[in-house]
Chains A and B, each alone.
Chain A
């Protein structure tokens, strides 16, 4: 089955600790995205990548880092600099990275990050 997988489903972070959320897709999509979802708010873009070895900051990148070494993978690290990390994190991917393309973004199942 083609799709987007995220792991783990739940993740606990201790104060001062960096944690990494995994996102893998086998859809052969060029572009990948990370969003944060908080109760009562719309999805907010953290980082996105249009092509391997390239990524850009979204609206709320502070305290987060990413890498894109492979087309299939786009891991997100929540660093200790992110003071309010508790949220539901969603990874998405889309077919084309051109700025004029009307690409649909497809989402993974999400990772819920909780702070101990």
Chain B
């Protein structure tokens, strides 16, 4: 079955730096990917998504890159702010399967 993993469980950056959070997936049939942000004690918040027919998608201060060859996606946050401190996790949806498979998350800490 599908598995989704994040490369680093924790990431610490300085305010103003760019952050990169990585995620790998196992199912080559996965065709849709989502990044979520979860603050402590709250539900996950949708950040950005990307379909498998795209390599890159940009939002406000965030960019998602998808490399289907190596089954890897990343979330880039520009000019990281203290309010960006949270757990970030990716989710993958496999082909015709309705189901989302979630990674365990990376805790991003932004130091002032």
A106 close to B46 (CB less than 8 A): yes
Over the window 38-50 of chain A, the binary record of Cβ atoms lying under 8 Å from chain B Cβ atoms (1 yes, 0 no) is 0011110100101
Q: CB within 8 Å of B: which of A33-75? A: 40-43, 45, 48, 50
A109 close to B97 (CB less than 8 A): no
Q: Interface size for chain B: under 10, 10 to 19, 20 to 34, or 35 or more residues? A: 20 to 34
Total number of A-B contacts with CB less than 8 angstroms?
49
- A residues near B51, Cβ cutoff 8 Å: 102
- A residues near B98, Cβ cutoff 8 Å: 31, 48, 50, 97, 99, 101, 103
A104 is an interface residue with CB less than 8 A from chain B? yes
Partner-A contacts on B (CB < 8 A): 4, 31-32, 34, 36, 41-46, 49, 51, 89, 91, 93, 96-105
